[in-house]
Chain A
Amino acid sequence: MCLAVPGKIVEIRDERGTRMATIDFDGIHKDICLAYLPEIEVGDYAIVHVGFAISQVDEVSALETLAMFRELGILDEELGPEPASTEPAAGEGAGGG
C-alpha cells in the first residue's frame, strides 16, 4: 500500500474548493488530489500515493542523477577492470521491475 509512483499532470480543476487533477500513469488516467502541491502545473510530474500528489519530481535533479550514474561507468572504464572476485551477474536482475 506504500506504493507511490510518478505520473504526469494532464488537467487541473477545482472541486468544491479543493485542487484536483487528472494524472496520467503510462496511459492510465486517475483523479488525484493536488491540495498538497499548490504550485504544480499541467505537464509536471508528481509522485502520487493513495490518490494524493505528495511531491513534485524535479526534472533537473532527475537528469543530474542519471548523468552521474553514466559518469560512474566512464570513470570505471578508466580505472580498469573491476575486482574479479566480486563480479556479479550484473544486468541479469537489477534492471527489472
Chain B
Amino acid sequence: MKYLDEFRDPALARNLLARINRLVADRSADEPPLAIMEVCGGQTHAIIRNGIDQLLPDAIELIHGPGCPVCVTPLNIIDKALAIAARPDVVFCSFGDMLRVPGTGRDLNSVRSEGGDVRIVYSPLDAVNLAEDNPDRQVVFFAIGFETTAPANAMAVHQARALGLDNFSVLVSHVLVPPAIEAIASSPTSRVDGFLAAGHVCSVMGTRQYGPLVERFGLPIVVTGFEPLDVLEGIRRATAQLVEGRAELDNAYPRVVSEPGNVPAQQMVNDVFTVCDRQWRGIGMIPASGWCLSDRYAEFDAETRFEVGTIDTPESAVCRSGEVLQGLIKPNQCEAFGGQCTPRTPLGATMVSSEGACAAYYQYRRLDGSPAEVGVG
C-alpha cells in the first residue's frame, strides 16, 4: 500500500539510525541516557514490534507513555459499562479491545457469555444504525478514545439527534493528550527529556496546543507518525534538539499533520463535548484532561439514563500499570508480568490492549526484556 511500504524501507531506516548514532557519538557512557517519551500507545506498539528501542544507541532511552485509551479508562467506568451491558433492555456497543479490559471481577466478554447483548462495532455510526434498526432496544455506545476518536464519536451523537433517536446513548470516557503531557512533565519523578507527540491526535487537533507546553517545560516536542521510519525520524529530531540544547515544537509528520488540524472535526467535537476533569486508570485524576457530553447533548448520557453515576471502585493492589503508564518502570519490572498477569489473564488494562505497554512487551519480548524474535515483519 502506498505510504505504508515506503515508510518501512529498511535501507532508509539504516540511514536514519546512522544519523541518530552520529548525533550521540560524543556523549560519554557516564552521562544518563536521553529519555524520550512516545506518548501514544500506537507508537509504543510500533517501537516494540520493530525492535526500534533496541536498535537505538545506549545514549537514548525510550519511555512508554500513557497514550492508550483502552489502558487508561478508569476501573469505575468499566464497572459502569458492565452494569449497563448486563441489562436485558440494552444492546451495548464497543470497540473490540474494550471487551477484555478487566473490571471488578469480570469483563464485557463475560457479560456477553452470561447473555448480555454486547456487540463489537468498527465505527460509532454502526451503533447509531443499530439503534435505528432496533427502536424497542436501548443502544449504548462506549465512547472512549483520545482526540483522534472524538470526532467519530461526536458525529454518532450528532446523527442520533438528527435522526430523533431516543434509544441511543453514550458512555463517555474521552481523554486528552496535552494535559497528560503536562502532568508527566510537571511530576517531580519525571525523567523525560523530550516528547514524541501522537501524530494522529495532532491530525485532528493541529499542533497549536503543544507550543505552550514546550515553552513552559523547556522540553522538545516532536509530532511523530507511526511507521518505523516516522518513529525513527521523530527520535532523530528530538535527539538533535536535545544534543544541541534546543527545545522546540517540531512536526516530523507533515504529510498528515497541519498546524490548524482538521477544523470541521474540531467544530463537531466542540459542539458535542466539553472539557472535564478525568480519572486515568493507574494514574489518578488529571484536571481538565477529558471530554464529556456538553449540556446541549446531556440527554444522550448513558450514566444518567441508566443511573450508574455513583459506581466507584478501587484498583488492583498488585498491578503497577500506573507506574508503567508514567514511564517509571518497564512492564517486565512488574512482579506479575508474564506470570500472574498475561494477555489471557490480565490484571491491568496495559496487558489487555495490543497498544498497552505490558501486552507489547509480552508479545514481542522475553521476560528479561530481550527480543522474542528479530522484528522483520
Name A's B-contacting residues (CB within 8 A): 1-8, 18, 25-26, 30, 32-33, 35-38, 45, 47, 49-52, 54-55, 57-59, 61-62, 65-66, 69-70, 72-73, 76, 79, 82-83, 85-97
Contacts and interface: CB of A to CB of B under 8 A. Distances in A.
A54 B265 contact: yes
A1 to B, nearest CB: 5
Contacts of B203: 4, 47, 54-55
B291 interface: no
23 contacts: A1-B98, A1-B353, A2-B149, A30-B122, A33-B125, A49-B149, A50-B95, A50-B149, A51-B152, A57-B255, A57-B256, A69-B16, A69-B229, A73-B11, A82-B25, A85-B25, A87-B21, A88-B54, A90-B14, A93-B55, A94-B228, A95-B8, A96-B49
A20 B374 CA distance: 41
Nearest to A56: B256
Contact of A65 (B122, B155, B254, B374): B254
B13 A36 contact: no
B15 A73 contact: yes
B16 A72 contact: yes
A47 B12 contact: no
B377 A62 contact: no
Given A2-B355, A83-B21, A95 B228 contact: yes
Nearest to A94: B13
Interface of B: 1-4, 6-19, 21-22, 24-25, 40-42, 46, 49-52, 54-59, 67-70, 95-98, 122-126, 144-146, 148-149, 151-152, 155, 159, 198, 200, 203-204, 226-229, 232-233, 254-257, 262, 264-265, 268, 353, 355, 371, 374-377
Question: Which 4 residue pairs of A and B lie closest in terms of their CB atoms, listed nearest first?
Answer: A51-B123, A95-B10, A93-B51, A96-B377
Contacts of B56: 88
Contacts of B18: 72-73, 76, 82, 90
Contacts of A5: 4
A57 B257 CA distance: 9
B16 A97 contact: no
A59 B336 CA distance: 46
B15 A72 contact: yes
Given A52-B123, A73-B14, 14 more contacts: A1-B95, A1-B97, A6-B3, A26-B4, A32-B123, A51-B122, A58-B254, A66-B12, A69-B15, A86-B59, A90-B10, A91-B13, A95-B8, A96-B49
B124 A51 contact: yes
A55 B123 contact: no
Nearest to A24: B1
B25 A86 contact: yes
Contacts of A59: 255
A91 B11 contact: yes
B200 A54 contact: yes
Given A35-B264, A36-B268, A50-B152, A65 B125 contact: no
B376 A95 contact: yes
B177 to A, nearest CB: 11
Contacts of B16: 69, 72, 94
Contacts of A18: 159
B13 A90 contact: yes
B375 A36 contact: no
Nearest to B41: A2
A58 to B, nearest CB: 5
A5 to B, nearest CB: 7
A76 B155 CA distance: 48
